[in-house]
Amino acid sequence: MSRQPGQPQSPAAAEQAQPAVAGISTTAVHAGEDRRRAHDSITTPIIQASTYTFANTAELIDYHEGRIEREEYGRYGNPTVRAAEAKLALLEAGPDMPAAALLCASGMNAITSTLLAMLPTGSHLILTDDCYRRTRQFIQTFLVRLGVQHTVVPACDYAAIEAAIRPETRLILSESPTNPYLRVLDLPRLVAIARQHRVKTIIDATFATPYNLRPLHQGIDIVIHSATKYLGGHNDLLAGVIIGRPGIISALRESQGITGGICDPHSAYLLLRGLKTFALRMERHNRNGLAVAHFLHNHPRIARVHYPALPDHPDHLIAMEQMRGWGGVVAFELDADMSATSRFIDRLRLPYIGPSLGGVESLVEQPSLMSFYELTTEERLAIGIRDNLVRLACGIEDTEDLIADLSQALDDKDVIRLA
């Protein structure tokens, strides 16, 4: 198919125009975007269109017969969104593995769309316990209503995972690293169990990103990310992405054409722009996370630090082996009660108090007062959320500044007095 200069790229052209990319930073900058763009602009344009028009009936018939590739209607595809999808597929899978990506309205939409499309009534799903709260809620309320059963197993308990498999089990879903305790799954071990029983595996790798972990290369069937976090990287968009073999992704794309949870072109543009610096940002997030974890680990006012690179983390060896870095999120417990822990958070000057992670600005939260506020202390303890737990999502600030800030807050007399 020929493309006139100045015309937006077609889906096929986007794939054919790949530069010979190799490294992750080169991929993040160049992959997925046509080398020659509309109006010779260096940026991929935001194609703000709900529908795409046909010159005549013959062109419409050619489109239906697959003789030309082009867009039809905004719910079925958009050139800006396709460029972001192509970049993400290459970032996750690399050039040698056939893979495709589907962008969704949010990370939660990516999760719910995948589960709805892949789990028929009467089927069964296994999910690990340390996970994003809304994922658990969706499975325990919506899927149960649709006649889909589930079993929750402890993260990294492989005997429990295998024991939970039934004849009707279709999927095993886990995060890695998990939220908030950063448990790291032994992916080849999980894949071996799943394959033996013909069960598919899904990893929500939001906390890892393709910079730190490559689940598809370990045999995982589907990877999901909340692109709202590290992939977008600037706390300014919501999006989710599903990545896997092209056959699975095109089936999910067909479902999205019906259910409608698309990513809008503005968010796709912000994502493309954020991804340009993805590798640079991850390098700094990793460095900050590691340095802060070590600093806290050695601080007398800290009872416990949860970070996979620390030797006392339960999955330390797996994490060292299977991950390139361990990300910017550090969970830790103060040697203090609920209110002294809040006082510590209020004394911090650099991180903003807020949910989320993965943006350039550091964010801090006390999970018991953020995502789990409406639960009682007992209900929180039942799912492992203690009142003295803090989750710090390191941004890309200077490492020394983050540590100096933590240090002054921990040494504050009011914090100590209240403990």
Rounded to the nearest 5 degrees, what angle is found at the Cα of 128, between the Cα atoms of 366 and 318?
90
- Is 36 a catalytic site residue? no
Output b/e per residue, 117-155; b: 16+ Cβ within 10 A.
bbbeeebbbbbbbbbbeebbebbeeebeeeebbbbbbeb
Judged by beta carbon, residue 123 or residue 228, the one nearer ligand PLP is: 228
Which tokens in the block code for residue 13? 């052209």
- Is 236 a catalytic site residue? no
| Distance between CA atoms of residues 314 and 308, nearest Å | 8
Active-site entry in 34, 37, 87, 132: 132
Residue pair 118/244 in contact (Cβ under 8 Å)? The answer is: no
Judged by beta carbon, residue 34 or residue 85, the one nearer ligand PLP is: 85
Judged by beta carbon, residue 203 or residue 415, the one nearer ligand PLP is: 203
DSSP-derived letter for residue 323 is -
Least distance CB 71 / ligand PLP (angstroms):
25
Residue pair 11/1 in contact (Cβ under 8 Å)? The answer is: no
Judged by beta carbon, residue 295 or residue 332, the one nearer ligand PLP is: 332
Least distance CB 321 / ligand PLP (angstroms):
22
DSSP-derived letter for residue 226 is E
Count CB-CB contacts under 10 A for residue 48: 12
| Distance between CA atoms of residues 405 and 178, nearest Å | 26
Least distance CB 98 / ligand PLP (angstroms):
26
- Is 200 a catalytic site residue? no
Class of residue 64 by CB neighbours under 10 A (exposed 0-12, middle 13-18, buried 19+): exposed
Least distance CB 180 / ligand PLP (angstroms):
10
Residue pair 215/189 in contact (Cβ under 8 Å)? The answer is: no
Active-site entry in 87, 229, 253, 391: 229
Residues that bind ligand PLP (CB under 6 A): 106-108, 132, 175, 179, 204, 206-207, 226, 228-229, 238, 240
Paired residues of 173 in beta bridges: 127, 202
Active-site entry in 34, 130, 204, 264: 204
The CA dihedral of 247, 249, 253, 256, to the nearest 10 degrees, is 130
| Distance between CA atoms of residues 126 and 232, nearest Å | 29
Which tokens in the block code for residue 113? 């769309």
Judged by beta carbon, residue 79 or residue 232, the one nearer ligand PLP is: 232
**CA distance to 65, 217, 226, 390, per residue, from 255 (Å):** 21, 26, 19, 39
Active-site entry in 3, 75, 189, 273: 75
- Is 204 a catalytic site residue? yes
Judged by beta carbon, residue 111 or residue 117, the one nearer ligand PLP is: 111
Residue pair 333/302 in contact (Cβ under 8 Å)? The answer is: yes
| Distance between CA atoms of residues 28 and 55, nearest Å | 36
Judged by beta carbon, residue 8 or residue 261, the one nearer ligand PLP is: 261
Judged by beta carbon, residue 27 or residue 176, the one nearer ligand PLP is: 176
- Catalytic center residues: 75, 132, 204, 229
